[in-house]
Amino acid sequence: MQPTDYKIELYKQLIDGCKKNNRDSQKKMYDLLSSKMFGVCLRYVKDREIAEDLLQEGFVKIFTNIEKFRGEGSFEGWARRIFVNTAIEAYRKSTKMYPIVNLESAEHFEGELVYNDTLELEDLMKLIHGLSPGYRTVFNLYVIEGYSHKEIAELLQISEGTSKSQLARARYLLQDLITANEKGTKQNEAIAK
Amino acid sequence: MKQSQNNNIEALFRKLLGKVEEQPSNDIWSKIETQLPKNQLFSTFTKGVIGFGILIFCSFSIYQITKVEHQKTKVNRLAIEKQNLIANKYNTPIEKEKINKKELPFTRNNISLNEIHFNKKEVLQVNINRSKDVIENLQDLNARSTESVVIQTQQPAILIGNELALNTPELKIIETNITSRLEEKTNIENSKNELKVETNTFEMDQIPASILNPENNLFSESEISEFNLENNIINSTQILETKASKIKVEKEAIVLKSMWSEKEELMQKSAGIDEVDPLTLRRLKNKVNFDRVNINKGFYVGPFAGVNYSWLSVSKKYQDKEYRVENVKYKLSFGKTFGVALGYDFSKHWGVATDFGLSTINQTYLERPSENKLNTRSVSLNYWQLPIYIKYKANIGNRLQHRPITVGGLIGPQFSFLKNQKSTENGVDTEINQRINEKEFGLAGIINADFYINKNLFLTLGLKGSFGTNLNGFPKLQGSDNKDPISYQFGLFTRFNFKVAPKH
């Protein structure tokens, strides 16, 4: 049996078990997915404890809604979308107090972000956590998850124009952060010399 | 800046952050476990099926229970009809002729006997208005070798010949049997002993004048003279025997209120009226209980409940280059409905009706918003629905052969108003306000059957189908430019109705 086939078969068995509310299968599924899904949560929130709350909420949703998974597409992809939606839901609740506004006056950063190739995963996490929740969410949805502005608008209950301006602003701020990061690195190198 | 150093950071984000993994705290699973449901015995669908089954079972049980009650209760008209039938069945032509000739005054007496109990276990009870009815009952019992009969009356009474004399207040107990008949038919000595004739006496001058009045042709003067008038006392047995011998009646009756408990054993041995042809009995009951006017006309009201298969099309407003409504797959989804129905049947065939209630439209979609994505979206909409129907119905079968059943069809416009909605995308709550209609207008149709329990109650089983779209967009429904979602429902329902017929 090929490793891929083995994985598919494993998922199939675990899904069947989870559909029957089998605790053992649920635990195995959790072990299989928790670190990946926690990574998804950490992209949307800065605080680790809040990310763990999202992880917990997401898994409960997965196990209570697993009947709705029809086996079309990968289970991991389906689960990932649940965690993304959970994060969005949490974000939407938080924005009831501080709603997103359309930044028509904000500079539209239409160019590509540039960087030198020293950036690593840790740096990227810091960069993305440096964005405000609104920018971070739109950036994550558009760039990482591949949602269209139309879908983002529906998910976040904002207009498409607002989604576009948020993304532009996020890019602009990220470029600033990258530039600042590079300067800091060069200064440190100079001091070291 | 060198080209190699200028990279698209978005691709890097996608590459690195898309696969980031991080180990969460160890206690997360235990927290999740506390929130997971315990093993459930039944799924929601199974619960729905069980619920509907219970509903049907309860309705059927009510139907059956009331059917038994229906058998237990007979009104006067039924008794009269039944007795006439029995008379026709068992009387010889000669006896019938004799009875017809003897139009005794007592037959016009309106004082009713209370009840005739043929058998303690017998469910049928008969109220008698005419003394003639009693006689016919006796003949029926006689024909079937009945050992004993107790007739309870509100008034003291006396059996004279084959007629029952009512309104004789001084008579307390008169218990008679046709012992000769019993001797022919049975060898049970105990029964014979218990069935000894008891007689009471009464003052001659207290005998109703009608009994002794020669003008009534009940007794001739010579017959009266045969009575023992010594000490101004007349023995009731003498009257009975005299008259009985004259018209050759074979059976006498026992009459009084208070004898019921003492005669239990005998009554158990008596014959049951259910030995009569059941089809005939049913015909009589139906004739009395299901008045034609009640079935044809009247107001009715009653609660209904049902389950339905629903289908909610995707709004075309959402369609774009990537998201094609043609690519959306619909999963079979069930909803429920309940409410109150009201109607008026103004003729044998025509009526109007409505059923106001809450109806759930459930729909699960499998969406593919882009090539690499697959969404499972579940929508649950609760609508207040108000259809207004025109109704056509027809009776089927013979009303006298079985309980009435009417079948009918209803059709009319339906208005729906959204009460609340819930939507999830991959199990997560979402808002779908732009995808649904807050107010709908459409058509609804019903095919149903009404099963009458009695003239005031009937049970309805039916199929209902409906569709609706945006109230404002309805005129565009047939047009290709309609982008509003359309909802369809098709399901089963049951209804318990109370009917009030117009006076007639």
Looking at beta carbons, which residues of chain B come within 8 Å of A148? Answer: 322, 369-370
Question: For B316-330, what is each residue's pLDDT tens digit?
Answer: 666 666 666 677 788
Residue of A nearest to B7 (CA): A114
Question: For B210-226, what is each residue's pLDDT tens digit?
Answer: 444 444 444 444 444 44
Looking at beta carbons, which residues of chain A come within 8 Å of B21? Answer: 35-36, 38-39
B457: β partners: B454, B498
Looking at beta carbons, which residues of chain B come within 8 Å of A129? Answer: none
Question: For A140-151, what is each residue's pLDDT tens digit?
Answer: 888 888 888 888
pLDDT value at residue B489? 92
Q: Are B453 and B289 in contact (CB under 8 A)?
A: no
- Mean pLDDT over A127-137 rounds to 85
Looking at beta carbons, which residues of chain B come within 8 Å of A123? Answer: none
pLDDT at residue B353 above 70?
A: yes
Alpha helices in B91-171 (DSSP H): 93-101, 131-143
pLDDT value at residue B12? 75
Taking the CA atoms of residue A85, residue A90, residue A92 and residue A93 in that order, the dihedral angle to the nearest 10 degrees is: 150
Q: Please tell me the CATH code under which domain A3-95 is placed.
A: 1.10.1740.10
For B291-500, the fitting CATH number among 2.60.40.10, 2.40.160.20, 3.40.50.2300, 3.40.50.700 is: 2.40.160.20
The size of the A-B interface in CB pairs under 8 A is 154
Pick A114's closest partner by Cβ from B6, B36, B424: B6
Task: Dihedral sign for Cα B212, B216, B221, B226, please.
Answer: negative
Instruction: Enumerate the domain spans of chain A.
Output: 3-95, 121-192
Question: For B390-401, what is each residue's pLDDT tens digit?
Answer: 999 988 866 666
pLDDT value at residue B73? 43
Q: How far is CA B8 from CA A119, A163, B5, B11, B14, in A?
A: 12, 21, 10, 6, 10
Q: Tell me the two tokens of residue B90.
A: 């068992």
Looking at beta carbons, which residues of chain A come within 8 Å of B364? Answer: 68
Instruction: Enumerate the domain spans of chain B.
Output: 74-285, 291-500
* CA B257 from centroid of its chain's CA atoms: 34
Q: How far is A22 from chain B (nearest CA, A)?
A: 8
Task: Dihedral sign for Cα B111, B117, B118, B124, please.
Answer: positive
Q: How high is the mean pLDDT of chain B? A: 63
B492 Cβ contact partners less than 8 Å away, ≥ 6 residues apart: B52, B306, B307, B308, B461, B462, B463, B464
Q: What's the pTM?
A: 0.44
Residue of B nearest to A153 (CA): B431
Q: Are B37 and A64 in contact (CB under 8 A)?
A: yes
Looking at beta carbons, which residues of chain B come within 8 Å of A43? Answer: 17, 20
- In A117-156, the residues whose Cβ lies within 8 Å of chain B are 117, 119-121, 124-125, 128, 139, 143-144, 146, 148, 150-151, 154-155
Q: Do B9 and A114 touch (CB under 8 A)?
A: yes
pLDDT value at residue B314? 75
Looking at beta carbons, which residues of chain A come within 8 Å of B22? Answer: 35, 38-39, 42
- Mean pLDDT over A149-167 rounds to 85
Question: For B10-28, what is each residue's pLDDT tens digit?
Answer: 777 777 777 778 888 888 8
**pLDDT band at residue A77 under the 50/70/90 scheme:** confident
Pick B16's closest partner by Cβ from A115, A121, A157: A121
- Alpha carbon distance A38, A52 (integer Å): 7
Q: Do B31 and A154 touch (CB under 8 A)?
A: no
Looking at beta carbons, which residues of chain A come within 8 Å of B317? Answer: none
SS (H, E, C) B64-104: HHHHHHHHHCCCHHHHHHHHHHHHHHHCCHHHHHHHHHCCC
- Mean pLDDT over A98-103 rounds to 47
CATH topology assigned to domain A121-192? Arc Repressor Mutant, subunit A (1.10.10)
pLDDT value at residue B55? 77
Question: For A16-55, what is each residue's pLDDT tens digit?
Answer: 888 888 888 899 999 989 999 999 999 898 888 889 999 9
Q: How far is B487 from chain A (nearest CA, A)?
A: 21
Q: Do A121 and B20 touch (CB under 8 A)?
A: yes
- Mean pLDDT over B351-373 rounds to 83
Q: Is B424 exposed, middle or buried (0-12, 13-18, 19+ CB in 10 A)?
A: buried
Q: Tell me the two tokens of residue A42.
A: 């950490």
B333 Cβ contact partners less than 8 Å away, ≥ 6 residues apart: B309, B310, B311, B362, B363, B364
- Mean pLDDT over A169-177 rounds to 82
Q: Do B376 and A62 touch (CB under 8 A)?
A: no
pLDDT at residue B266 above 80?
A: no
Q: Do B18 and A115 touch (CB under 8 A)?
A: no
Pick B366's closest partner by Cβ from A61, A72, A139: A72
Phi-psi region of B161 (alpha: psi -120 to 50; beta: other; left: phi over 0): left
Task: Dihedral sign for Cα A168, A174, A179, A182, please.
Answer: negative
Q: Tell me the two tokens of residue B396.
A: 């089927």
Q: Do A64 and B17 touch (CB under 8 A)?
A: no
Helix (H, G, I), strand (E, B) or coil at B169: coil
pLDDT at residue B380 above 70?
A: yes
Residue of B1, B2, B14, B20 to mutate, testing the A interface (most A Cβ within 10 Å of its Cβ): B20
Taking the CA atoms of residue B451, residue B454, residue B455 and residue B458 in that order, the dihedral angle to the nearest 10 degrees is: -30
pLDDT value at residue B359? 93
Q: Is A104 exposed, middle or buried (0-12, 13-18, 19+ CB in 10 A)?
A: exposed
pLDDT at residue B358 above 90?
A: yes
Residue of A nearest to B319 (CA): A150
- In A162-191, the residues whose Cβ lies within 8 Å of chain B are 174, 178
Residue of B nearest to A65 (CA): B427
Say how many Å lie between the first and final Cα of chain B, rounded: 103
- Alpha carbon distance B24, A135 (integer Å): 25
pLDDT at residue B171 above 80?
A: no
Q: Are B115 and B148 in contact (CB under 8 A)?
A: no
pLDDT value at residue B263? 41
Residue of B nearest to A59 (CA): B32
- Alpha carbon distance A151, A140 (integer Å): 13
Of the given ranges (A170-174, B5-9, B322-326), which has the lowest mean pLDDT? B5-9
- Alpha carbon distance B170, B150 (integer Å): 19
pLDDT at residue B242 above 60?
A: no
Nearest to B84 by CA among B29, B26, B130, B45: B130
pLDDT value at residue B67? 56
A109 Cβ contact partners less than 8 Å away, ≥ 6 residues apart: A168, A169, A171, A172, A175
Sole residue written with tokens 């992880």? A55
Helix (H, G, I), strand (E, B) or coil at B458: strand
Residue B296 neighbours by CB distance under 10 Å: 20
Q: Complex ipTM above 0.90?
A: no
Q: How far is B479 from chain A (nearest CA, A)?
A: 26
- Mean pLDDT over A105-129 rounds to 63
How large is the angle between the packed helices B131-143 and B76-90, nearest 10 degrees? 50
pLDDT value at residue B65? 65
Q: Do A21 and B427 touch (CB under 8 A)?
A: no
A148 Cβ contact partners less than 8 Å away, ≥ 6 residues apart: B322, B369, B370
Q: Do B428 and A88 touch (CB under 8 A)?
A: yes
Looking at beta carbons, which residues of chain A come within 8 Å of B14? Answer: 143-144
- Mean pLDDT over B18-39 rounds to 82
More confident residue, B490 or B145: B490
- Mean pLDDT over B68-90 rounds to 46
- Alpha carbon distance A168, A89 (integer Å): 22
Alpha helices in B318-379 (DSSP H): none
pLDDT value at residue B460? 93
Q: How far is B359 from chain A (nearest CA, A)?
A: 23
The tally of CA atoms less than 13 A away on the side-chain side of residue B75 is 8
Q: Do B20 and A56 touch (CB under 8 A)?
A: no
pLDDT value at residue B26? 85
A98 Cβ contact partners less than 8 Å away, ≥ 6 residues apart: none
Of the given ranges (B88-92, B271-275, B364-368), which has the lowest mean pLDDT? B271-275
pLDDT value at residue B503? 63
Q: Are B153 and B166 in contact (CB under 8 A)?
A: yes
pLDDT value at residue B427? 67
Looking at beta carbons, which residues of chain B come within 8 Å of A155? Answer: 430
Q: Do A64 and B428 touch (CB under 8 A)?
A: no
Q: How far is A104 from chain B (nearest CA, A)?
A: 23
Pairing between strand B428-430 and B405-425? Answer: antiparallel
- In A26-55, the residues whose Cβ lies within 8 Å of chain B are 26-27, 30, 34-36, 38-40, 42-43, 51-52, 55
Residue of B nearest to A118 (CA): B5
- Alpha carbon distance B450, B395 (integer Å): 9
- In A80-109, the residues whose Cβ lies within 8 Å of chain B are 81-82, 85-86, 88-89
Residue of B nearest to A22 (CA): B39
Quote the percentage of chain B above a pLDDT of 70.
42
Quote the percentage of chain B above a pLDDT of 90.
15
Of the given ranges (B18-27, B185-194, B343-352, B464-473), which has the lowest mean pLDDT? B185-194
More confident residue, A20 or B119: A20
Question: For B400-438, what is each residue's pLDDT tens digit?
Answer: 666 788 899 999 999 999 998 888 877 666 766 666 788
Q: How far is A191 from chain B (nearest CA, A)?
A: 23
Q: Do A21 and B37 touch (CB under 8 A)?
A: yes
